[in-house]
Structure formats: structure tokens, C-alpha cells
Amino acid sequence: MDAQPEKTQSPELTKLFEPVKFGKYELTNRVKYGACCVSNFNNTDGSITPRELARMKVIAESGCGMITNQGAYADPLGEGKAYYTQIALYDEKFLPQFETIAEYIHDNNAMAIQQILHAGRYGGIDLGYCVQPSVVPQTLPHFRPPREMTKEQIKECIEQHAFASELSIRAGFDGVEITSFMGYLLANFLSNFTNQRTDEYGGSVENRARFLVELIDAIKQRIGDDYPLIVRLNGAELMDQWGGNTVDECFEIMHIAADAGMDMLSLTIGWQEAPESSIGRDVPPGHWNYLAARAKKELPDLPLAYGGRLPDPVMAEECLNDGIFDYWEVCRPLLADPQLIHKAKEHRLHEAKVCVGSLNCLSRLFRDLPYTCTINPALGHEYEPEYNISPAVTIKRVMVVGAGPSGMEAAITAAQRGHKVTVFEKSDVIGGALRGYAANDLAHPEDLKRMVFYYEVMAEKHGIEVKFGIEPTPKMMRGMLHEYDAVILATGAIVDMDTLPISEGAPVVDAFDVAKGKVEIEKGQSIAVIGGGKIGLTLAESLKDQGYEVVIIDKNRRLGHDVAPTWKWRHTSWIKELGIETVTDAKVLGISTEGVKVMTGEEERVIAADVIIAASPIRPNQALFQDFQWMVDELHGTGDAMVPGDLTLAIHNGFRLGCRI
């Protein structure tokens, strides 16, 4: 592991936390909470649930100077509706719950903004069709077939946005935001790709921006100049493959919007269909800052909010000081840690959980599920007592076996509730398999390393004793009988070597040992990786990147069976970019000094390799469960020791167990 941030006070973020005036409003700081996506916590009729109100209460308390409520669709038919339980704002009947959210925000001295979101190309989820400027076929099959909007429908859509904006102000919000990010309706009109009209709404950039200009004008007329209108616009669509707008065209549109009267520009990157990542972990923090810098240079007098792949308050402070933008727009980092802004202000950033950019939130939404966060298990469950860290009724002595993410989540949560917690770890460090993944991650390993650092900091803060170099055994437990009231086995997963047809002398090594650096592979050796799941892919990519010749062998027809939906494409592209050979739909017949004998279809072949990494099959390590059952009052398991899964399951299971033990 590389050096981690020191466990000392974080720097003074003077610019980030200075009061600033926006229009007639005095903001407490330069942090804007951005409505990065909808939560899917609500009812199918667009009404807001207690689950959503509880989430927004937490967001309202996050310490941001400006807070944007998630996007509401504005048409009764639902053509603008992108998600099954997206909130609606097309009728006065919805006002009471919006009033509650505005009150939450104002009670915490923040400015309240309501976003209006018409999904356009990605909408009509209940209707079986979507509307957009032109009939341009979908590139992703799960979206609905398009219908071209008539001029009458365009006028009606503009009026609906204006009415929803009026309702927002009547509900107590201080301003309105309209959005073109991710390829929604506004972006559809602006883009060369989806706007192929030949009337006054298509053709030149000026004509494609006509809908935007009329939208701004209608909203401004309806709500007046005292209430600001924020517009989210692409700095880059990343849609070159489909003939989308160039960066220069995106900036030309910004100037048009500024001239039309927008009060703040919120700069965003990318579309859902874009073939490259814009906000995932494979994008280095600060990668898109140059677009914000250009926008600020070209529109120096227009307030600019920006935060695309910029998760760190310290980096945001540097950007503010450099004049790159005026407001740090942040969303996902506050889903991961709702206290991030407070921790930054109180010089406690070393205690902050970091957004690792796994995009679990988007993976869930793309499956029409409520969003959750890999790092924050309480997201979406804020109103459920079972997810609150409350004082334990009875203080227990708790043993945790394994210092990986699931074990540490359980240990930290239990300790926060008042339990006396001791962690036993067979290695000499905290982190478990997460350290191995971080050491071999081609994306942005610093994010994963920061999670390990977080566990180290919180173990120290909450007085958790961690005993390294100890692997508890039944004999050891008999000697400590009655010293612990509860045991949590977080022993992780292991490669099931016994099920592999390994001949004596075969150069087989364990994938987890390779990942953790316990096995050193000589330069120039060829490698076969058996198993194309997460650990196999991660190692194959890392080793190929280091110059080794690597082949992946997998029994499945497609690789990445245990990889999150929003990350599979990245592994696919890395394999292609690195030139890694893959042998799929393959049955392993034997593993010997010659290599790996496989059968694909009806053909047998031997894949020669100097080193064979066993990354499959993987099973839970449950060796201690049966014996420990008779040695302690309570026995629990968590994480991969129960069912091998991903980081999300490990963290969530550990947290939930710590909440209830």
C-alpha cells in the first residue's frame, strides 16, 4: 500500500467555507449539493414517501450552502418520467411534501433549489415510448422507442416546465434548475446526434438551442428575476461515436444560455449512452477540470458550479482558489458520507468515508431499483430504526475474526454502540481482500486505499483492539471460553483448490495470495488465470499492464459474472485495450506442469503457462463455524464468509450486523 494521509487535522478550507452572495441570497459556503440522480424511493404516481423525506432531512443537514432537490417530471402523462418512482410536480396536490423538503433545507440555513427533469430519450418508462426532437433509434436496448415531438408538444412541454417552476417557488424553494445532463430532453434538442429536425428547432447550433432559450424565457417570466434559474449543461457529451456535439458546440450553447438569462451554469460531463466513462473510478479526480476552467474563462461573470469527478474538498478548495469555478457541486461523495462537509470544516477529513466511484448507485437505477451506496449502508434506510447506530441495551464483549471490510464495518458499528470489540487478524494489516484489489486496480486505487485508511483511523478512534498475526482456532477458543459474549466470523472467501484437477508439481498459486503480494511472479513468465470473475480479471489486467503475457480461462460464456453492471464494460474495454487472450465457455480438464488442459465445445487444447493462478471456484471460508457454535453465547457470520460477493455486500452486511448485535 502507498503512503496514506496522516491522521492529523485536515487543512483550513478558507475559500470553500467563506460566505458568498448569489443574487439576493447570502450563502454560508460555496458548496452546492447537486441532484446527481433520482433516488427511486417514492411512489409510482410521483408522490413522495417517508423514505424520501428521511433521506432529504439527512441531506439538508449536510452543511451545504445550496441544496438541490432531485429532479421532478412536469407532465401528467409521464413522458418525462425516467424512473418508476421518480417524483412528480405537475399539480398542486404534490405541494405539501415539497414544502416539507424546502423547510428541511431552510431549517439548516441553506438555499433550496428544485430541479425539473424531463428525461426525453430516456423517459416514458410507463408508456412504452419516449419523446425527443427526432426519431433517432436507441443505442441501448432497455430504453423505449422514440416519437418525434410536434411543435405543439414542444410548446406544451415548455409550459409544463414553467408551471412546475412556479409550483417549486410556491412550495418555498428559492430557485429552479433545469437539466440537460446524461442525455435528457434538453440535451436531446441541443445535440447533433438526437436533433435532426429541419424546422426552426433543428439544424444550426442556434436553432438547436431554441428550445433551451424558450424554456429559460418561459420559466423566468413565470417565477420572476428574484428567483434564480440554474441550467445544467454539458461541457462535453462524449458522444463523438454517434455524431454528437463537439466541445466547441457545447461551449457555444453555454454562451447562448447565458445571453438568454440563466443565472448559474452547472457544468456536467457525458451521456448515459457515452462509450467512455465520465464519473467512474477509472476517471482520475480532477480529470475534467479543464472544461470548468474554460467555462469560467469564457463566462467570467456567470456563477459556475462544478464537481464532475471531483470528490475531495481539498481539491475543491484548490480549484476555488485558482478561479476554476465558483461553487463546488457535490453529490455522490455526500451519499457516501453525509457528514463530509462538516468533517472538512472541523478538520476531520481523515475520518471521512470516500466515494470510491463504483457507481453502485447507477447500477441500481439502471435495474429500476432504489439507489444504494457501496460505502454508506444507511442510505435509503434513514427512517428505519434498524439502520440507526443506537446505544446497546447490554454491553457485550465482541470478538471479530477478520479485519476485512465486512469485519471492520461490524467492529466499528458495534463499538459505536458501546460494545467492547477485539479484532483478530491473521495478517499484519487491516484491509483483507480489499488491500489486494487496491494493489492491482487499474482504475483509481487511491480510493480503495482510502477505505482501508478509514478503517484504521476509526478502529483507533473507537478503541477497537486489533490483534495481528493471530488466526483463532477451536483450541485457542477453548482457552478463552467465556471471555467473549459474541463472535463475528468475517473470515472471507477462499479459492476452492480441492475441486480443481491439479497434478503434482503443477505451478498453481492462489489468486488472493498473488493479489496481496505473498506470491512473486518472475518477469517474463507466462500466466494463465483460471476464473474470469472480479479477482481473476483484476489480476489479469494488472499483470498484463506490467508486461506479462496473460490468458484468462473461464467456464462461463461471458466474463465478469460477479461484476457490477456499471463496471463490466470497463473490464471488457481493458481486456481489449491490453490485448488479453480470453478462453470462455471452457471446461478445465487438467492442470499440470505443461499448463491447463481445457475443452471448448468439442475441442481439447493445452494452454501453456509458467504460472497458473487459481481464481475460481471461490467459496466462503466457514471452517470455524461449527466448532465455534459450541464455544460462545452468540455466533454470527458476515461478508464473504457467508456468501462471496462484492464490496457493497461486505460493507452492508457488516454494518447491519454491527447495528443489531
Distance of CA 442 to the CA centre of its chain: 17
- Strands 111-116 and 175-179: what pairing? parallel
The answer to whether the CB of 230 falls within 8 A of the CB of 263 is yes
For 615-661, the three-class secondary structure string (H helix, E strand, C coil) is CCCEEECCCCHHHHCCCCCEEEECHHHCCCCCHHHHHHHHHHHHHHC
DSSP output for 330-341: ESHHHHH-TTHH
Nine cell digits for residue 181 = 445532463
The whole-number pLDDT of residue 280 equals: 85
Q: Using CA atoms, how far apart are residues 452 and 456, in angstroms rounded to an integer?
A: 6
State how far the Cα of 2 lies from the Cα of 448, in Å rounded to an integer.
11
Q: Which domains does the chain have, with CATH numbers?
A: 20-365 (3.20.20.70), 389-492+621-660 (3.40.50.720), 496-619 (3.50.50.60)
Cα–Cα distance for residue pair 268/307, rounded to 1 Å: 8
- Give me the pLDDT at residue 565, please: 82
Q: What is the mean pLDDT of each run of 10 residues along the chain (661 residues)?
A: 52 96 97 91 97 97 98 98 96 98 98 98 96 96 96 98 98 96 94 98 98 98 97 97 97 98 97 89 93 98 96 97 98 96 97 89 83 94 94 98 98 98 97 96 92 97 98 92 95 97 97 96 97 97 98 96 88 96 97 97 95 98 94 96 95 97 95
What angle separates helix 433-440 from helix 445-461, to the nearest 10 degrees? 150
Q: What is the Cα Rg of the chain in Å?
A: 27
DSSP H helical ranges for 8-150: 50-60, 95-107
Cα gap 82→130, rounded to integer Å: 9
Residue 30 in grid coordinates: 460555496
Cα–Cα separations (whole angstroms), residue 113 to 216, 218, 399: 16, 18, 47
Answer left, alpha or beta for residue 23, where phi above 0 means left and psi between -120 and 50 means alpha. left
* Residue 43 CB-half CA count within 13 A: 10
Could you give the CA distance from residue 564 to residue 236 in angstroms, rounded to a whole number? 26
Its pTM stands at 0.94
576 grid coordinates: 481489449
Measuring CA to CA, which residue among 117, 120, 143 is closest to residue 133?
Answer: 120
Q: Which backbone phi and psi does 552 adopt, to 5 degrees?
A: -105, 135
Distance from C-alpha of 222 to C-alpha of 167, rounded to nearest angstrom: 10
Residues 6+ apart with CB under 8 A from 377: 387, 409, 651, 652, 655, 656
Residue by residue, DSSP assigns 558-578 as SS-TTS-HHHHHHHHHHHHHH
* Strand-strand pairing, 20-22 and 25-27: antiparallel
